[in-house]
Amino acid sequence: GTWAAGWTLGDAYRDEISWPICGEIDILEHVGYEMGHVHGTVHTKAYYWAVWEQRKGRILLDDVSEAFHDYVVEWSPERIDMYVDDSLYFTYVNEGTGWEAWPFDHPFHLIINIAVGGMWGRAGGGIDDSIFPQRLLVDYVRVYESR
């Protein structure tokens, strides 16, 4: 039932813009029932799960819950690349078709959390209370701006 994530969310309250129009970049998502699977996803008005047009990647890590890893997003006006420990596993390219597919040109908020349940967290079955308490350990977060 756990669902750890590091993600960005577009400034949804700007001009009353809501999700997914504001954009979301999931730098990492790890759902407890899929041990070893790490997902990276973008959500936009054009591409998200409810319209069956998801844009995502996945990488397998044998020690995802036992070791620290570097989760990296390189984000430019042309593309978004996602890496784990220097391994590129997902690229999303700006198609140049407008804001519906590329809302990634305005302020975003960085969020790190561990959720319990939810549609994806519960997809593997019920929540096993014997796993609690849980911890999400973060060694560091760095943000760089290209000049």
* 53 assigned to active site: no
How far apart CA 29 and CA 6 sit, in angstroms, is 7
* 100 assigned to active site: no
Report the phi/psi class of residue 22: left, alpha or beta, with left for phi > 0 and alpha for psi in -120 to 50. alpha
Of residues 99, 115, 95, 111, the one with CA closest to residue 14: 99
How far apart CA 28 and CA 14 sit, in angstroms, is 25
The distance in angstroms from the start CA to the end CA of the chain is 41
* Catalytic site residue from 24, 53, 66, 100: 24
Catalytic site residues?
Answer: 24, 29
